């Protein structure tokens, strides 16, 4: 299959032709995980065929990092034993809208899918940080990471040092802040605590290249925060944003210019509402104590 961009003993990453969207398949001894299977019908069917070929009698778990329509569009092609998502995703008031975006996308490009368009139904809901789920010898730990969307989360597969991050820490796009820059910053700070609890080395973003070393994802984190701080400075003091540097770093200006101006608009509203005020250390994400919660199964 030609859209596999990474493969080792446990991890296979399929990358869509659209927006370099990553779909991850993790093979453990007793379970196969599929995270955010995406985009075009052939691509999703290739992932589903691959999973059926390798899974033998293992259970199949489906994980959604957030509810953006590009991440749920493949949901209906799978018959998982369990589906994992954040409580905010379960309770998302815009569920119907997300599903409508899937339908409108397919309509716009005359796409027919051999599976239904559905919004994922949760079997296991993550409602706080560091919730663990253990399935025989496989341990997953989930963290709530709002900012890009209100319902974003990350999952760490403990044994293989892998963090699947959703739409954060991309090397091809700057932060897409559809929810809150304050929460986004807290989630980026929390990432350090997530690392310290789990010692993951590799990180898979929702879009773009895999981050295969700690230095690499730390660099991406710094770039994400610098972007947010540059926008804050621009909004609060009027200092111009260095657009030439931005578009030298990120190579898809035609679509990303709109995202950039939406970010500024959202953050200007935050500024006007006084949301950037000083916060106590416990709420900045930097000093969070991520105590693992009871195992749940
Ligand atoms: Zn996405």
- Ligand 1 center–CA 68 separation, angstroms: 6
Structure tokens at 169: 């820490």
CA 19 / ligand 1 centre spacing (Å):
8
Give the count of beta carbons closer than 10 Å to the beta carbon of residue 105: 16
Tell me, yes or no, whether 259 lies in a domain: yes
So what's the pLDDT on residue 278? 76
Q: How many domains does the chain have?
A: 1
Q: Quick one: how far is CA 82 from the chain centroid?
A: 19
Q: What's the pLDDT tens digit per position in 208-226?
A: 999 999 999 999 999 999 9
Handedness of CA 120, 124, 129, 132 (dihedral sign): negative
Q: Give the number of other Cβ atoms within 10 Å of residue 64's Cβ.
A: 25
- pLDDT(258) > 80: yes
Centre of ligand 1 to C-alpha 237, Å, is 31
Q: What is the spatial distance between Cα 173 and Cα 253, in angstroms, rounded to a whole number?
A: 10
Say how far apart CA 158 and CA 218 lie, in whole Å: 19
In a domain, 69, yes or no: yes
Domain assignment present for residue 197? The answer is yes
pLDDT at residue 296 above 70? no
- Phi, psi for 223 (deg, rounded to 5): -65, -40
Report how far ligand 1's centroid is from the alpha carbon of 167 (Å).
5
In the chain, % of residues over pLDDT 90: 90
Distance 292 CA to ligand 1 centre (A): 28
Helix-, strand-, coil-residue percentages of the chain, each rounded to 5: 40, 20, 40
* pLDDT band for position 32 (cuts 50, 70, 90): very high
- Ligand 1 centre to CA of 165 (Å) is 11
Please check whether residue 296 lies inside any domain of the structure: no
What is the CATH number for 126?
A: 3.60.15.10
Residue 294: inside a domain? no
The stretches of the chain forming alpha helices (DSSP H) are 41-55, 69-72, 87-90, 95-108, 181-198, 214-237, 243-249, 253-272
CA-based nearest residue to 266, from 176, 155, 187, 204: 176
Domain for residue 244, yes or no? yes
Ligand 1 centroid–CA 2 distance in Å is 21
**Cα of 37 to ligand 1 centre, how many Å?**
11
Sheet holding 131-135: strands in order across? Answer: 202-205, 162-166, 153-157, 138-144, 131-135, 295-296
For residue 36, report the distance from its CA to the centre of ligand 1, in Å: 9
Domain that holds residue 87: 4-289
The reply to whether 295 falls in a domain is no
Distance 148 CA to ligand 1 centre (A): 9
- Report yes or no on 297 lying in a domain: no
What confidence tens digit (pLDDT) does each residue in 65-119 have?
Answer: 999 999 999 999 999 999 999 999 999 999 999 999 999 999 999 999 999 999 9
Calculate how far, in angstroms, residue 285's C-alpha sits from the geometric centre of ligand 1.
23
238 C-alpha to ligand 1 centroid (Å)? 30
3-state secondary structure of 81: coil
CA of 218 to the centre of ligand 1 (A): 20
Q: Strand 153-157 to strand 31-35: parallel, antiparallel, or no bridges (unpaired)? A: unpaired
> What is this structure's pTM?
0.94
Please tell me the distance between residue 261's alpha carbon and the centre of ligand 1 in angstroms: 18
Question: What spacing in Å lies between the alpha carbon of 21 and ligand 1's midpoint?
Answer: 7
C-alpha 81 to ligand 1 mean position (Å): 24
| Residue 53, both tokens | 């070929």
Between the CA of 241 and the centroid of ligand 1 the distance, in Å, is: 25
CA of 20 to the centre of ligand 1 (A): 9
């Amino acid at each position: 299959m030609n859209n596999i961009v990474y493969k080792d003993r446990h991890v296979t990453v399929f990358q869509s032709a659209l927006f370099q969207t990553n779909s991850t398949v993790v093979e453990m001894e007793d379970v196969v995980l599929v995270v955010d299977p995406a985009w075009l019908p052939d691509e999703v069917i290739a992932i589903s065929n691959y999973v059926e070929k390798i899974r033998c009698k293992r259970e199949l778990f489906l994980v959604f990092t957030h509810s953006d329509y590009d991440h749920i569009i493949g949901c209906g092609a799978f018959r998982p034993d369990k589906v994992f998502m954040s409580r905010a995703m379960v309770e998302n008031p815009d569920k119907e809208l997300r599903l409508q975006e899937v339908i409108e996308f397919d309509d716009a490009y005359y796409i027919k899918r051999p599976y239904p368009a559905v919004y994922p139904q949760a079997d296991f809901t993550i409602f706080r940080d560091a919730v663990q789920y253990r399935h025989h010898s496989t341990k997953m730990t989930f963290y709530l990471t709002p900012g890009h969307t209100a319902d974003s989360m990350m999952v760490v597969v403990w044994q293989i040092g892998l963090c699947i991050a959703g739409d954060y820490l991309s090397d091809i796009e700057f932060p897409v802040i559809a929810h809150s820059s304050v929460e986004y910053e807290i989630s980026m700070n929390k990432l350090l605590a997530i690392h310290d609890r789990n010692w993951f080395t590799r990180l898979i973003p929702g879009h773009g290249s895999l981050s295969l070393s700690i230095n690499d994802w730390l660099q991406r984190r710094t770039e994400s925060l610098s972007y947010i701080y540059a926008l804050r400075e621009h909004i609060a003091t009027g200092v111009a944003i260095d657009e030439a540097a931005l578009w030298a770093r990120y190579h898809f200006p035609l679509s990303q210019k709109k995202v950039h101006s939406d970010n500024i608009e959202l953050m200007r509203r935050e500024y006007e509402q006084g949301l950037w005020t000083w916060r106590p250390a416990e709420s900045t994400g930097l000093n969070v104590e991520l105590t693992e919660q009871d195992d749940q199964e």
